[in-house]
Chains A and B, each alone.
Chain A
Amino acid sequence: DAMVIQNPRYQVTQFGKPVTLSCSQTLNHNVMYWYQQKSSQAPKLLFHYYDKDFNNEADTPDNFQSRRPNTSFCFLDIRSPGLGDAAMYLCATNFGLGTNEKLFFGSGTQLSVL
């Protein structure tokens, strides 16, 4: 059974039209991450939550926001998508502790901006 679920798998939006991507996890873990992966590039951390504590990466544009209403759900909001925001968006949670800790990713949402 999938432990990190992302919806939808594919999302098409228009330039400048707000879009929300969703993620849920069944592990009841306190940390959730959002990564952006553009084609043939490294996944890049946008932000993460430790419980309700939001941690933004320094170079994440203000256009990207996130909400975590409860432990299970986390949302990525793109307020005004540009063509450069077309990418795979990956949600993850952690599993294990210390050197046994791993990130467990969802299947991702492929965002297209027209």
Chain B
Amino acid sequence: KQEVTQIPAALSVPEGENLVLNCSFTDSAIYNLQWFRQDPGKGLTSLLLIQSSQREQTSGRLNASLDKSSGRSTLYIAASQPGDSATYLCAVTGLGNTGKLIFGQGTTLQVKP
């Protein structure tokens, strides 16, 4: 059974810092991995999607890497801003790609001005 773990559960940093969020998964047989952002009381917004054949994806100040063999992904946020404060969720899709996302519990990030 696939399990997804995110470390740390919470993170507080001063504005301007570069930071890394970690995601690990137990079964390397994945179709893709996604990073989402969730603001309090709201739904999820997809940030980056990495196919199993890819090593990384970039969007603006965000860079996500994937090491499928070791079951790990990282989300790198450069020059953090207070507006980046949110919960970041990692999710994997199995090889069958039935649309079933398995989520981690998330990392809650606070960026202080």
- A and B pair up: no
**Measuring CB to CB, which residues of chain A are less than 8 angstroms from any residue of chain B?**
none
